[in-house]
Chain A
Amino acid sequence: SAVISQKPSRDICQRGTSLTIQCQVDSQVTMMFWYRQQPGQSLTLIATANQGSEATYESGFVIDKFPISRPNLTFSTLTVSNMSPEDSSIYLCSAKGSLTQDTQYFGPGTRLTVL
């Protein structure tokens, strides 16, 4: 299995500011993903974080709004830029591959509230 940690666990931010969320996996993984879970909803994929190259974004999500880094096989960051109240959500990091094989694991999430 893989243990995934995220920082911060929660934050309250002002409109127009940016927040960077960190994701750390306890073992090397092939794939890392970022999901969003809006209040009362299920999970939606934001992007796949690619090691050493630009992330692959899903329809409706753009790099300028959600820049992602993945400098190595165990770490990734997601930035939520120029935030508005509509960005209030739980953001979850996920990973799979290598030791985890096909099982996909999730971090505890970052609960973001934008005022």
Chain B
Amino acid sequence: KQEVTQIPAALSVPEGENLVLNCSFTDSAIYNLQWFRQDPGKGLTSLLLIQSSQREQTSGRLNASLDKSSGRSTLYIAASQPGDSATYLCAVNYGGSQGNLIFGKGTKLSVKP
């Protein structure tokens, strides 16, 4: 069964700290992997998409890496801010251009001022 796991389930850090969120997947034959942010009561905001042929993607203070062989992806957030507080979701697509996403349960991040 294709599963996505995110650890930790929750994380609290002081403002300014660099942090890493982890995502693991059971089947390494992925098409791509996407990281999302979800604020309470809101929809999902796409942060980064990594294709299976890529090792990392960067957007501003965010950097996502992909290691297919070990079935892992990490989301690195530099110089965290209180506005980064949200739930971060990792999702894997195995089905190609017409495939859907399989989601992890998310990591709830709280950045304290």
Docked complex Cα distance between A62 and B106 (Å): 27
| Interface range, A side | 20 to 34
Q: Is the interface of B mostly helix, strand, loop or mixed?
A: strand
Q: Are A103 and B46 in contact (CB under 8 A)?
A: yes
Which residues of chain A have C-beta atoms less than 8 A from B44's C-beta?
Answer: 43, 92, 106
Give which listed residue, A33, A41, A106, contacts B43 with CB less than 8 A: A106
| Cβ proximity bits A43-69 to B, threshold 8 Å, 1 near / 0 not | 111001000000000000000000000
7 A–B contacts, CB within 8 A, in A order: A4-B43, A92-B43, A102-B32, A103-B34, A104-B91, A106-B36, A109-B42
Give which listed residue, A33, A42, A105, A109, contacts B89 with CB less than 8 A: A42
The answer, yes or no, to whether A13 is at the interface (CB within 8 Å) is no
Chain A positions near chain B (C-beta within 8 angstroms): 1, 4, 30-31, 33, 41-45, 48, 92, 94, 97, 102-109, 111
